[in-house]
Amino acid sequence: MKKTICMLAIVFVSGALFAQKKTTTSATVAFDATTNLDALPKADNKTVVAALDPKSGMIAFEAIVKSFSFKNPMMQDHFNSDKWLDSDKFPTVVFKGKITNLKAVDFKKDGTYLTEVKGDLTIHGITKPLNTTGSVVVTGKAISATAAFTIKVNDYGIINKAIDNGKVAKEPKITITADFK
């Protein structure tokens, strides 16, 4: 009997936790590595999985590297090749973090809230800490989150002549937008 009660309690608690997590499978991650010499290295991925837990402040996203869409086919091939992101070996880009100023966000009240986010970003199989700011917009039951930051590509083991020659930015700008359900 005790066992059954325990099991029911676990199911109830995990169900409640799951219910708190807001997710989307259509978040957007865009990056812009353009320079004065080359306007081609930029792309976006509109099928990113993202999650936000308003209670704990947990925030995360997963993007399939091959799903970054470029205008130029050659640029897309280069991006996925072993000289850049090596998407066959490292198929995803992952971020796991937390909103550290959670008290500043009222998920029950409409408004725009500035957030501070701390977490780990994994690109090219290398995980580095990432601290950034973003914003959360609450409109009724809908929650939108955005963040923009730069990364140093050589921190993630991406070293290429095109970066040294100034054709690809050393610190591309990454923008994330997610509308949670």
Partner 1 sequence: MSLKPAVKKIIITAITIFIITCCSIWYIFTEKFTDTVKEKADYAVNVLSFINEFKINDSLANKKYAEKIIEVTGVVTEIEMADSTVNIKLADTTSGSYVIFAFQQQHLAEAKIIKEGDKVTIKGSCSGGTYSQILETEYIVFKRCVLSK
Nearest approach in angstroms of CB 136 to partner 1 is 17
- Contact pick of 34, 72, 135, 160 for partner 1 (by CB under 8 A): 72
The minimum distance between CB 172 and partner 1, in angstroms, equals: 19
Closest to partner 1 by CB, 46 vs 171, is 46
Under the binding rule (CB under 8 A), the answer on residue 139 touching partner 1 is no
CB of 104 to partner 1, least distance (A): 24
Residue 18: φ, ψ to 5°: -60, -40
Taking CB under 8 A as the rule, does residue 146 contact partner 1? Answer: no
Q: Is residue 174 within the footprint of partner 1 (CB under 8 A)? A: no
Q: Residue 51 CB, nearest distance to partner 1 (Å)?
A: 5
Which conformational region is residue 81 in: left (phi greater than 0), alpha (psi within -120 to 50 degrees), or beta?
beta
Question: What type of residue sits at position 21?
Answer: K
C-alpha 42/C-alpha 70 separation (Å) is: 7
Q: Which of 116, 138, 120, 140 is nearest to 130 (CA)?
A: 120
Applying CB under 8 A, the site for partner 1 has a residue count of: 29
Among positions 34, 35, 90, 91, the unique one binding partner 1 when judged by CB under 8 A: 91
Give how far Cα 38 sits from Cα of 73, 124, 167, 174, Å: 15, 23, 5, 17
Question: How many angstroms from the chain centroid is the CA of residue 73?
Answer: 24
